[in-house]
Amino acid sequence: MVEFFLIFIFQNMDRDTRFDIIIAGAGAAGLTLLWYILHSPSLKTKEILVLDKSIQPVNDKTWCYWESNNLDLSEFIHHSWGELEVGAMGNYISQHLKDYSYNCIRNGDYAEKILSQTKQYSNITFKETGIRKFFNVDDLGVVETDAGTFKAPFIFQSVLKPPDFNQSKVDISLLQHFIGWEIETDSELFNPDKAVFMDFNVKQYNGVTFMYVLPMSSNTALIEYTLFSGSLLDEKEYETAITSYLSDRYKLEESQYKIVRKERGAIPMEDRQFSTWYCKNVMNVGTVGGLTKPTTGYTFTRIHQQSKSIVSDLENGLKPTTEKASSYRFRVYDMMLLHLLDTDPKMSLKIFHDLFNRNRFDSILRFLEEKSNLLQELSIFSSLPYTPFFKAIYKMKHRIFTGA
């Protein structure tokens, strides 16, 4: 009788701690993977566990991307722009997009809509808890949390750096760091159909610096002060720069607008190659899986591509593939530009100016999306000063000629 009781307890303990799929991290990477699982007839009935310290939707981040991959995210899009503007070297260049639209999604809205779809599924479990570590036992991935230990054949994690992170080869390590204000003005100042993609016509004190302006209406906009450098600034420095920009460009005094919401972020810009697997049965996804493009910081579209690939593999009973986010060719391009951003900010500004002044914006976005072909890329590079890139190749030759 006692033996039967112990077996019953252990069986139920395993039922409470073992799942078919565990998603550790409920940010962009984790929720996007969950969204694609919900649209998979064969996976949406699996026992799924989602873990994070907080799973409550909060609008404290804005994710932007340009549409060309038929992601069908219209239900999530907060605003879209058909025209982009870039400012550099005292000039302003604007173009209407033909092949793309530039879209933004608020992280809280995104989370709320995905989480609302899970209410009909009793097989999906959410736990708000701290995540301590991952390991594997036999053919199961294991996650140790403040709320206990859980296991599954596959764990997809976006919260912890891989164990070999600090041993990974890295020559250039910058941050794209920013503070943004969403403001509401007394008067109508903005064009809600045109976004300021990058405005480098600001003081360049601490590395390559630009302003980013996303108008949501004629009197509301998100204004971000953004830098490419190795270290963060004091909060007051970002906010002083935003105040100055609103005064210089839009003639706005502080009494003429109110701050509705604030954002803050720091995105890694490195030439590091990230490991796909944390350990056996535990896959790194999102930024910790190396999906952030080193020279732009854009990650959102790559997360969708990776999530679709993971779901397709799981549907077919396969281990998820481990292809790199970028091909060798584009890793080389990223290394060259990262080197210039790090060592020659003044030349970087000229390159940005010539890039947008001499090329169609659609062609640039296609290149940044890594969907261009070699001839298109040669056309873009031919419009830029070539000597800095040859110097960058020489300086980074130890990486470029050994697989980047």
Q: What digits encode the pLDDT tens for the residues 89-103?
A: 999 999 999 999 999
Backbone phi, then psi, for 50, in 5-degree steps?
A: -115, 125
pLDDT band at 4 (very low <50, low <70, confident <90, very high): very low
pLDDT band at 404 (very low <50, low <70, confident <90, very high): confident
Tokens of 2: 């006692």
Q: What is the pLDDT of residues 163-212, one digit of tens each?
A: 988 888 889 999 999 999 999 999 999 999 999 999 999 999 889 999 99
| Rounded Cα distance, 88 and 205, in Å | 15
8 A C-beta contact, residue 225 and residue 149: no
Backbone phi, then psi, for 270, in 5-degree steps?
A: -135, 160
Report pLDDT for 68: 67
pLDDT band at 2 (very low <50, low <70, confident <90, very high): very low
pLDDT band at 15 (very low <50, low <70, confident <90, very high): low
DSSP annotation of 249 reads H
SS3 percent helix, strand, coil of the chain, rounded to 5, is: 35, 30, 35
Report pLDDT for 83: 98
DSSP annotation of 357 reads H
E-strand stretches of 129-172? 131-137, 140-145, 148-152, 154-157
Higher pLDDT, 222 or 1: 222
Question: How many CB atoms neighbour CB 190 within 10 A?
Answer: 22
Taking the chain, what is the end-to-end CA distance rounded to the nearest angstrom? 63
Q: What is the pLDDT of residues 39-72, one digit of tens each?
A: 999 999 999 999 999 999 999 999 999 976 667 7
Higher pLDDT, 1 or 267: 267
| Rounded Cα distance, 13 and 16, in Å | 5
Tokens of 300: 């959102």
